[in-house]
Structure 1
Amino acid sequence: LDVISTKDLLIRPSVPRFFVAGDRVTLGAAVHNNTSQTLPVTVRVEAQGLTLESPAVQEGRLPPGGVARFEWTGVVGRVEAVDLTFYAEGGGFRDATKPTLTRPDGMIPVLRYVSLETVAAVGMLETPEPRLEIVAIPPEPEVTGGTMTLRLSPSLAATALDSLAWLEHFEYECTEQTISRFLPNIATYQALLRLNLARPDLEERLRQQVAIGLQKLYAGQHADGGWGWFTSMESDPLTTAYAVFALAQARSSGFAVAEGVIERGVAFLRRSLEAPADLPPWKANRQAFMLFAMAEAGAGDAGRIVALWEARKEHLALYARAFLAMALGRAQADHPLIPTLLNSILEQASVTATGAFWEERGLDDFNWNTDTRTSAIALLSILRLDPKNPLAFQAVRGLMAARRADRWETTQETAWALMTLTEWMVQSGELEGNYTWTARLNDQALGSGTVDPAHIQETVTLRQDIAGMLREVGNALELSRSAGPGVLYYTVHLALEEPVERIAPRSRGLTLSRQYLRLDDPCLQDRRQPCTPVTSARVGDILTVRLTLVVPRTAHHVVLEDPYPAGMEAIDPSLKTAPTVGQPPELRRVDLADPFGGYGWWGWWWFGHVALYDDRAALFAEYLPPGTYEYTYMIRAGWAGRFQVRPARAYAFYFPEIYGQTEGTLFEITR
């Protein structure tokens, strides 16, 4: 039995799921006459954030049971989102609707290409002396727009809440990011309780986030007891140690953890431990983290901790020493090795005017580590084992100086920094504040406010379009505050934009290229044939996207993102409705000695997780040996217009300074 529910006059919009600022797009709407009479109809669109180039109101006649398409062209502005409403009226009938595949608020997001993001200034005001920061805007003509954002946080609690929001809305869902999202929530939840801060709404939201995170971890645990970077990947000791640590933190904070989950994870870690004598440095560092996680879960092993230190002390990273010290503190709090471990960390601290920090001797890209992450973990070990040490406050200042806007650079840096700063907040009681503040840009008022106990957890965000700033000389940003208790933390963040067609390829350790090819291009069948890339198509055409990534040295935790033109949609081969024409998506490694195929093709999937989003394809590889990789997938042209295509980008997820990107381009779709 088929039941059809409809209206006599029905309008159905056809618009992209997103836009890029500057796109020229053709909006469409199909109007259905479901009556038995001819209807004169008036159709119109209301658009906010998009400038129409054709009349908003159009008229037509629809025969009985007929349908007609109406179109409007327009240019997308530099806005956060576009709001569209479509109307149809005729013969006494009317209908109105908005596009359905939108944000929860019914608006269509507008994306921009930010060519440069930088922290122009970061610091804290502890006294009434004013602070002058010079903010320079690059004079290059390619910079056509952008925003300066000033964030003022009156406490570490306010900073923590901002960073929690960033983690909560982080776009990818690997196991590490799932944990990094809810681990700081646990710490913040405990801080609220220990400091007697009455925030019932926040407490409930934190509990919900923890519960969601726990359920995802339960679902992601493999039969061997471990976890992989993505659920589709094999279990590995690094991710498993992080999961066990998170579950142990949840359990010790009073959250119910499913029976046997932690125990199976600990068993996996125990099976993964190796004799320390011959471990390479990266494995020794990882084993220190594993022993720390086991100790947090109540399975500490002082003998193994000491053995690892004795065998590899000269090669252990500073963060690994901190993990061993904290693990030994859990396993045997009075062990005589703890002061030795702690001193080996303290003596390596660098103290400057902006605070204390730690720098590792080398890069440990196997284990998600950076110097900022090391500084957070080192500080956490001090707070746990020597909380009265005067270096702790300097390390807090140094960690705050490493912020980038409302977060730190990676999810790992942000999670460990939040957990550490929350512990400091609890120990120091840093929640006092009673002063006023002002901010002036080029001697013009930018903002002002009052900090008191009722607003101590609230960050103030001020934005200035760079069109209103100086380009030839630096811009004077003056921050001041009155006398009184408390600290005012601030960051100044610049996001600069340029037209995508002017963006050149960049290579910083990785090289990436992108081609749009027609399905009948000979090079798709025979690599010896030259390819003929295209920059235009007709509505309904299906194209193949070819991405080529060159990895000159072994890379870890690589992400490849390929944004689509707004007028196109990726074809998901897992759907039963996906067309069978062309080639299915595939990713292969090309032998550099035989780049034209043949036996040079290696047939396994190096990227263990692939996801197709509304605006981009994303691929994730835990490990990539040196080589050249190609990924192909299909997209369909769905809407006419002239679209700005943002560069594709490949980067090391935990070391974003290692990256490669393609050029930006324009793509035209006609009917």
Structure 2
Amino acid sequence: AGGKGGGGEEAEALRTQFRNTAYWSPQVTTGPDGRATVDITLPDNLTTWRTQVRAVSGDTLVGEATDEIVATTPLLVRPALPRFLRVGDEVTLRTLVRNATDVPQEVTVTLDADGVEVEGDAEQTQTVAPGESGDFAWTARATAEGTATVAFRATAGDLADGVQIDLPVYLDVTPETMSTGGVVEDQSAIEAIYLPGYAITDRGSLDVGVQASIVGALESELSELRPFDEESTVRTASRVIATIAARQAEGYEGDDVFAPVEDDLRRLQAIQRGDSGWGYCARYCSTDPVVTAWVLTAFGDAVDAGWDSPNVQWRQGITSIRQRLDRVSDVANPVDPNEEAFLLYAMQQARGGEVLANTLRSIYEQHREELTPWGEAYLILALLDSSVEPDDAMVRGLVSDLNASVIPSANGNHWEAAPLYGSIESNVSMTSLVLRALAQVDPEHPLIEETARWLVAARNADRWHSDVERAQAIRGLGSYAALTGERQGDFDFRVLLDEDNVMDGHLAVGRDEGTSSASVRLPLSGITPGEVHRLAFERETGAGRLYYVLNLRYVTPAAEVESLSRGLSVAHEYTLVDDPDRPITEARLGDLVRVKVTVVADADRKFVQVEDYLPAGLEALDTQLATVPDDVRRQLEEERRDAVVGDGDGIKAYAPWYGWYWSPWDQTDARDDRFTLFATELPRGVHEYVYYARATTLGDFFVSPATAEEGPFPEVFGRSDSGRFSVVR
């Protein structure tokens, strides 16, 4: 590349096409002499191109060759620009011009920039020594969103070179998400839609969804519990529980309810052990009281559904459970009160003829403070099964405890607790148990509907992992469907935004019916910021309920925005590699900056994405590449040695660049303008991630807020403060 001074030649010298791969072909056929020729037009990159050829003959002879092609020019323009800009950035537009001749050259560089405001004269001249580079710089400011086109043209006598680069200029915005939901029975429901006056409406949406049943078709979940050889006892019992609950919810009656699992019930009878209990596996596992209790629960559900068997040996499983409960007198290893509540519930399910109300009452009186939500729920269910009235003071106290420990969100309520060793319960199954308990105590309890909504959302987010989770969730949602009668839903509906009809149709629920849900995504162009709009949900006469959910997404200017925490908190901190304890807002050109991202989850979260936006003057390093500098590798090794795994409060530090070191982050992406973290499962607690970035561009840059969001629940969201970061000489 090169040319003489002058308008036409200068235009020809402007290089604009840059690619990493100049040419690739999967197959080139040679002539009889084994030679082949290809014509290649090289891109405008002035660099060393590496050519690789691999050959194979018809009789499987193979070979390869490598060569290099150097593309250069005696006067070489090398721009030192950021990969992007943000509105409000003050940046130094620099280029180095190398004099590859053996004599000094008087070099003139002209800057032509669109999309940014440049200070000073567009032309600069300086003498560049042979074999050296001159540094040419202009101060500029990004003032509008779009694309900045920057062109440097250098001339020195008959020598010339030029480069043109396009830079994206991003608007300083931060996302906002609002979610809500409700139900329409006899009268219309109206939601107020309001965007603040500073909201930007050309991006974002209002998502509206309606359903005739939030439970959906529970039978479809049974395929996840299909039998296979040598399956565990827990899976077999879970399939019995889930199948009975799903078929009852779908309206089956009599023998049709339990007929699909009669073989499973016979198998459970056949693998009962000599001590009357059941083990996790059929042949070699020792009897386990928790597994035994789960099997008894399955038998109890089958009996309630009408199953009758002449073989009642399974009821003797109570003996195995009683042996476990006798350990209560063992001061060193007492039974956990939550487990005890579950075991007593299972005994009640087995219809042992014992009066357990007094034992259950003693758990409440002696261990109330130790009970977690799943223990409280099992205790409520067992008490009600022991003929204790729903308005009993003990039952009311347990419900009050559940009310106090609920974790609410716009898309539903759920409960969590630290896992108990040996337990088969999880947060999903625990929430399902609470739903059943609340429904039996008070069908009008205000938490019931939103708890069912959370379970459905968890199902859609692939949170039903284990066999027990699936069985408990189907059981809980089945009881909710029976309570509300929503399985008979059949009605017309419409949704109005102010006076405009934005969605209408017919919803019906049932195995042989039509559509049970509908949705629409509305642009924000029909919503005026600063004004209140009305979104009305109308349901025509007919059986069932209309459920609706709204997700409003929009963006606002990010300048001087404050941090926000709605279930997730996120913050980032910049330090220097050699001084990791002192936060900075300024670095020198060429410095290596250590970026620490801290995420706090107030509950176990699923499908979390964290985006830490870089200032334009920093460029993230991919620590997996061989090009990582030695000083960075030394720092990584030091942090690996110092990394600490926290206790029950979460993780205090990570060395995530080492594959063997546990981290919740399943994937990390270093992009031009951000560093992104993905976690399928993010446990409750504090989590940190460290990455590195090089200070590559002089200027004063806007730092957009880092954001964190839980995918299935967009209202679970957090962001950090915005700020500024400077790169100086």
The TM-score, its normalising length taken from structure 1, stands at: 0.50
Higher CA-based Rg: 2
TM-score (norm 2): 0.46
